[in-house]
Structure 1
């Protein structure tokens, strides 16, 4: 009984102090920064992105390059899709992001470039098709298709990694990996580890 009593006495203290440290508490509204406007002297408030941290491994946050620029390995290429099982059920203005990522790019013992392509599928209310998926590797003068023993097919909600390989010239220092799936197109470039 003596061991149980101190635990019971600490319960009100835990309840009063909350379930986390101030650093862990989440604010429903982001902090705002007040900045004077340069032209008319009025003050505008804009949300800040304080507290946002990079993705795991210190990489840049997931982003969308609509200007045709290239992604780095480990960076997510984002493509919005409407939510709903059928086109007539799509909810107007409601979209979720499908994210493609290329990482773990290395020269395999067989002299081929090996990498992992991951397709992250959100809750769309339907499966996500990859029947039109085409992945290619490009070097200075050489280009060829990426191959895999596994097929992605129709994907349920979740992350779907697939290991792929490409032919490679002798000891390539970098590679451009192009991922095309229907209208989704993203180029990833980086060093070969």
Structure 2
């Protein structure tokens, strides 16, 4: 007659024996520290491998929230093509470009500039309902204002003149542009 062990005794035995799985090799060597490479012979080297990609890359991987650009330089943000999310095809994107230029003092001594958005064929409009443009200079930060809000943008180039309030006649300014997940800082001297 065969004897049956209670479940409470069988579980610890199964856990200790690995439940019939192949045995794992245990080594006494510590894991390699980060930044240490191993050459093909298996011996560690002190070489550091740079991550792939160019830091100046404006692709989706290269664009970083809050990246800083010079006045007149375009901040590039990829957008999926299609009218609805279910129409988006993986890897099919077009670049929306934001540019701040023509930065100069207004007759009243405030900072005036031009914000340009270049919108490619996306199969839909690009909304700017949550567009927030702010200026920082000489310890002051405040919103930029415009008399012609952009609204929903069709394919093409869209330009609006903006003004920042604050201290009179600053020599340089930082203009922060945020639209949804797009965020870029433009900095430079005031002309």
Q: Distance in 2 between matches of 1:105 and 1:143?
A: 16
Aligned residue among 63, 79, 99 for 1:66: 63
**How far apart in 2 are the matches of 1:151 and 1:62?**
30
TM-score by length of 1: 0.66
TM normalised by structure 2 equals: 0.66
Shift of residue 63 of structure 1?
4.1
Unmatched 5+ stretches in structure 1: 1-60
Please name the residue that 1:146 is paired with: 144
For the residue of structure 2 that corresponds to 1:97, the secondary structure is strand
1:140 Cα deviation (Å)?
Answer: 2.9
* Residue 117 of structure 1, CA deviation: 0.1
Change (3 A) 1:62 1:74: farther
The 1:112–1:150 alpha-carbon spacing in structure 2 relative to 1, beyond 3 Å, is same
- C-alpha distance in 2, partners of 1:125/1:192? 37
Bigger Rg, which one: 2
Moved more, 130-139 or 168-177: 168-177
1:173 matched residue in structure 2: 171
Cα contact 2:111–2:169 (8 A) shared by 1: no
Number of the residue aligned with 2:29? none
RMSD: 1.9
Q: 1:46 is matched with which residue?
A: none
Count of residues in Structure 1 that have an aligned counterpart in Structure 2: 134
Give yes or no for contact 2:70–2:187 (8 Å, CA) kept in 1. Answer: yes
Instruction: Name the residue aligned to 1:75.
Output: 73
Q: How does 1:7-22 map to 2 (within 5 A)?
A: none
